[in-house]
């Protein structure tokens, strides 16, 4: 009778450990999902901010042409101190994005494709960021690039959302 009692206790303990491991794995998956979503939201917001900053610089450039002012005077009239503050926020935001992406290493189990897509989005973001923070002499040359990159980012973001949805619903990568 003692051996049956030990066997039952052992079986219950094994079941608890297995169940606890399953719960822990599920919690880790949820945490990974949240980290990836946070990185995606931050990346999307920063991409939009960079594109908007570039457009603000373009407006200042156009104002300079119309008024005959130099770009610095025109940008200070159109943007005031906002341009410098916006640029600093973009630089700070980039550091935050890089930090969030670094936290995804190692890639959580089951999320490799989503993280790969996030890295592709990051590459597009970096193009827009660089154009916005270090604009070319002729801002007009960047207008088509920004539009093209925003379109690529939006398409990639849609694919990324689909991947996460499939993971969330128990689909395979």
Residue 14 predicted with pLDDT over 80: no
pLDDT, tens digit, 9 for 90 and up, residues 28-65? 878 888 888 889 999 999 999 999 999 999 998 899 89
Least confident stretch, 12-16, 29-33, 118-122, 129-133: 12-16
Residue 11 predicted with pLDDT over 80: no
pLDDT band at residue 165, thresholds of 50, 70 and 90? confident
Gyration radius from the chain CA atoms: 24
| pTM of structure | 0.80
Averaged pLDDT of the chain: 84
pLDDT, tens digit, 9 for 90 and up, residues 71-112? 888 888 888 888 788 989 999 999 999 999 998 888 878 889
Torsion of Cα atoms, 64 then 69 then 71 then 76, to 10°? -90
Residue 171 predicted with pLDDT over 70: no
């Amino acid at each position: 009778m003692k051996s049956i009692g030990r066997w039952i206790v052992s079986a219950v303990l094994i079941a608890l450990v297995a169940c606890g491991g399953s719960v822990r794995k599920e919690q880790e998956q949820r945490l990974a999902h949240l980290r990836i979503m946070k990185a995606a939201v931050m990346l999307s917001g920063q991409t939009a901010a960079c594109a908007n900053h570039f457009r603000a610089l373009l407006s200042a450039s156009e104002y300079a042409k119309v008024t005959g002012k130099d770009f610095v005077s025109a940008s200070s009239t159109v943007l005031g101190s906002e341009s410098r503050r916006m640029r600093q926020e973009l630089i700070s935001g980039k550091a935050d994005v890089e930090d969030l992406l670094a936290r995804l290493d190692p890639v959580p189990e089951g999320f490799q494709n989503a993280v790969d897509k996030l890295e592709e989005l990051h590459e597009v973001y970096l193009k827009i960021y660089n154009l916005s923070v270090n604009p070319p002499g002729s801002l007009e040359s960047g207008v088509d690039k920004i539009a093209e990159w925003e379109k690529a980012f939006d398409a990639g973001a849609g694919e990324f959302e689909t991947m996460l949805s499939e993971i969330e619903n128990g689909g395979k990568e």
